[in-house]
Amino acid sequence: MYKYILLLTAISFFGFAQNPLYSKLESQMDYALREASIYAIPKGEKIYPRTVRNDSLILVGSKDWCSGFFGGELWYLYELTGNKKWAAQAENFTLPLEKEKMNAGTHDMGFKLFTGFGNGLRITQNPAYRDILIQAARTNIKRFNPNTGVIRSWDHSRDKWVNPTIIDNMMNLELLFWAFKETKDSAFYKVAVSHANTTMKNHFRPDFSSYHVIDYDPNTGKVLKKNTHQGAAHESSWARGQAWALYGYTMCYRETGKKEYLHLAENIAQYLLKHPRMPQDLVPFWDYDDPKIPHAPRDASAAALMASAFYDLATLQPYKKVYYQNYADQILRSLSSPAYLAPVASAHGMLLFHSTGGLPNGFEIDAPIVYADYYFLEALVRQKNKK
């Protein structure tokens, strides 16, 4: 009987009760748009919500790596609700980012442009979006070093690293795989596969947890350092980094069919799901090795990434489809609960509480963060479309 009640609860939440959740998300996004308009216009190009600090909405310009997520959220909200006003607003927050297609000073082309223009192209088939993304991909591969086999991530902190590559950079490879399919230019594919292979070789520990930063000698490709810049310690397991890895290698298998990527993604999944310090609600602490657990901040962004990746993995592993979907559903139930979902008109319209951006550096600690909202909505879209 107890299992039957749980089943009915799950059906209620993900079936008949979808519209109330979407209506709540629409109300929050309405509020977010008003906040962005009020505070952004006097400040020039800073129109993109990133986080909330001291009860103030923090807006960023196009150069910020988080600039693309808000437009991407609006595209997903249109996909979830069918309300055309969200498509119009998505364009308003996507089009100003076009100039970033020429910015070779960043590795974050996927985060900045594929989130908005990529989803916009998928939904509207606007050919102008295609051209922008192809140029962005061409700009992005300029950062590839054939000696190291990877795309350089950061240009800053040259006193710490010579040629750093971060696990987050796996997320930007989807743009390159897309560009290969669109143009048939093998350069995109070769760079993406080389980066994925080299990262697979050097970023992972025997237990399938990942370092955050690997520093390479740009001339020889030798590994110089293995660091975890945003985690509790260099040898710790930073939660969002593990989620980037899970999502990234799941996507790489989807795009290439290479079994080694699937095996790594599944091993990362098992590392996370069986971790002794994974909370029951599957919203991880910001670092699995923080000695302050259970009195440590959570990271809802890592949970949202995991949910979206599990839905993707479910489509790629038919005989484990229910297994991965059930975990993804469980995470979405947690994130949609009052413990994490911000009340309407709170948090300046942002959707989720309790994400952690850079605790060691003292920023975005236990806060709403835009990429948590983006991957939460992406997971909802994938949940809605699951078969």
Q: Please determine, for residue 10, whether its predicted confidence score (pLDDT) is greater than 70.
A: no
Mean pLDDT of 289-297: 98
**β-pairing verdict for 164-166 and 213-216:** antiparallel
Q: Please determine, for residue 217, whether its predicted confidence score (pLDDT) is greater than 90.
A: yes
Contact yes or no for 136/111 (Cβ under 8 A): no
Q: What is the pTM of this model?
A: 0.94
Contact yes or no for 351/320 (Cβ under 8 A): no
In a 10 Å sphere around its CB, with 0-12 CB exposed, 13-18 middle and 19+ buried, how is residue 167 labelled? buried
Q: d(Cα 341, Cα 29) in Å, to the nearest integer?
A: 13
Q: Please determine, for residue 15, whether its predicted confidence score (pLDDT) is greater than 50.
A: no
96-153 pLDDT, tens digit each: 999 999 999 999 999 999 999 999 999 999 999 999 999 999 999 999 999 999 999 9
pLDDT for position 318:
93
If pLDDT is split at 50, 70 and 90, which confidence band does 5 have?
A: very low
108 is catalytic: yes
Mean pLDDT of 38-51: 69
Q: Please determine, for residue 17, whether its predicted confidence score (pLDDT) is greater than 50.
A: no
Contact yes or no for 371/243 (Cβ under 8 A): no
If pLDDT is split at 50, 70 and 90, which confidence band does 168 have?
A: very high
18/364: higher pLDDT: 364
Mean pLDDT of 273-292: 98
pLDDT for position 45:
76
If pLDDT is split at 50, 70 and 90, which confidence band does 12 have?
A: very low
Q: Among residues 108, 215, 289, 312, which one is catalytic?
A: 108
Closest C-alpha to 208, from 268, 168, 269, 251: 268
If pLDDT is split at 50, 70 and 90, which confidence band does 387 have?
A: low
Q: Among residues 64, 168, 215, 299, which one is catalytic?
A: 168
Q: Please determine, for residue 268, whether its predicted confidence score (pLDDT) is greater than 70.
A: yes
Q: What is the mean pLDDT of the chain?
A: 93
Domains and CATH numbers, the chain: 2-337+351-385 (1.50.10.10)
373 is catalytic: no
Closest C-alpha to 116, from 145, 85, 92: 92
Residue with tokens 């909505």: 377
330/36: higher pLDDT: 330
